[in-house]
Amino acid sequence: MSAATDVIPVAKPFLGPEEEARVLEVLRSGHLSLGPRVPEFEQAFVDRLGVPYAAAVSSGTAGLHLGLRAAGVSDGDEVVTSPFSFVASANAAVYERARPVFADIDPVTLNLDPAAAAAAVTERTTALLPVHIFGYPADTPALEQLGLPIVEDACEALGAVHADGTPVGGRGHPAVFAFYANKQITTGEGGMVAIGDAATKERIDSERNQGRAPEMGWLDHDRLGFNYRLSDIACAVGIVQMQRLPFLLEQRQRVADAYRAAFAADPVDDLTLPCDDADGNRRGWFVFVVQLPRSVDRDETIRALSARGIQSKPYLPAIHLMSFYRERFGYREGQFPVTEDVSARSIALPFFPAMSEGQVARVVEELRAVLTA
C-alpha cells in the first residue's frame, strides 16, 4: 500500500522508550500492585490540578461509580446527567440502582445545558453528573448554583481549563479522568479521581480495594468494596505520560489548528466544526468531531471514508435511545432534540498527537470528496 493510500487511524497513542523503561523497572522489582508507583502517579495529578488528593482506579467508569457512591447516591435516587456521552456516565448511576435523569445539551458546546439540568431536578435528585464532552469545559459554576453534590465526568478533559483559570477537575468535586488509549494520556486502561477532601479520599481508597481500610490486613474489611485497583505497571506508564502531558496537549492543539485551517481554506457547506474556546474556557483536545450536513447519511459517509483509507466513527450515540435505556427507563425519541440531532450527524475524524499536516490535509480532502460525490 502506497503512502497515499495508507490507512489513517482514528486514534493512536504516543508512547516511547521512557514508558518502556519505567515498566521494566516495575517488572524487575516484583512489586506489581499496591506498590509505590500508585501514589507517585496520584501525586502527579495533585500537582497538575492543584487538588488536595487523587485516587488511581482501574478505569474512568470505576471512578464514576465510586464518585457517585461517595456523593451518597443509592437505591431510588436520581442523577441528572447528559444523554450525549459515552454510556459509562449513565451506567455508573445504574450500578447503584439509581435512575439517570437526562437533560438536553447546549447546541454549541454540546455540554449539559444548566437550565435543562435545573428543570430536571426533583426531590429525588441526589447528584449532578456533568460531562466535559470532547474536552470542552462544562458550565460547572452554573450547576454549582443548584446546591447539589456534583461528580464531574472529566474522562475526556485532561488539560481543559475553566474561565476563572481553574483546571477542569480542580473545583473540589470528585472529578474523574480516564486513560484509555485515545485519551490525552494513556495507561492502556485506567482512571483517576481528583478529590477535594480527606474523607472522600479515604473512602475511595478503601472501596477500590475491596473495602479494606489502610490499617487493616487482607483478612478483614469494614465496608463493601470492589476490585478497582490500578496496577503499578499501568501507573509507571502514567507517570511518564504525565511528564509528557504539556507536549501531548500542544501537539493535539497543533492538529486541531491544522484541521481548522484546512477546512477554512475551502469550507464545506453545512459542516459544523467543534466550537471555539469562548469566554475564557479552554478545551483539552481529545477528539476532533464534526457534524455532517443534515442531508448526508452519516453511516454511509463513514463507510465511504473507510474505503478511501480514512478511519472514522460515530461520536457519540444518544444514550437514551440505546435499547437498555429505552427498555429499563422508558426513554424514547423526541425527548432530547438537540442531543438526537447532534448525535445523528457527528463523526470523529482521525486525531492523535503524531498526526502530520499532510495527513490532516488528506482527511479533509477525502471528506470533502465524499460529501460532494
Q: Hey, which residues are catalytic here? A: 183
Nearest to 64 by CA among 165, 143, 169, 161: 169
Residues contacting residue 197 through CB under 8 Å, at least 6 positions apart:
52, 53, 172
Question: Which whole-number Å values give the CA distances from 166 to 162, 188, 363, in the listed order?
Answer: 5, 27, 34
Ordered DSSP codes for 26-56: HHHHT--SSSTHHHHHHHHHHHHHT-SEEEE
Whether the CA torsion 184, 188, 191, 192 is positive or negative: it is negative
Residues 186, 13: contact at Cβ < 8 Å? yes
Residues 358, 18: contact at Cβ < 8 Å? no
Residues 53, 171: contact at Cβ < 8 Å? no
The 3-state DSSP class for residue 10 equals coil
Give the bridge partners for 209, in sequence order.
227
* Residue 69 exposure: Cα atoms within 13 Å on the Cβ side: 26
Report the first-to-last Cα separation within the chain, whole angstroms: 24
Ordered DSSP codes for 206-222: HHTBTT--TT--TT--S
Residues 95, 65: contact at Cβ < 8 Å? yes
Reported residue count of the chain is: 373
Residues 249, 243: contact at Cβ < 8 Å? no
**Any idea what DSSP says for residue 153?**
E
CA separation for the pair 187, 207 (Å, rounded): 21
Q: Where do the DSSP E strands lie in the chain?
A: 53-57, 78-81, 99-102, 125-129, 152-153, 175-178, 191-195, 288-291, 313-314, 346-349
Cis peptide before 146 (omega within 30 of 0): no
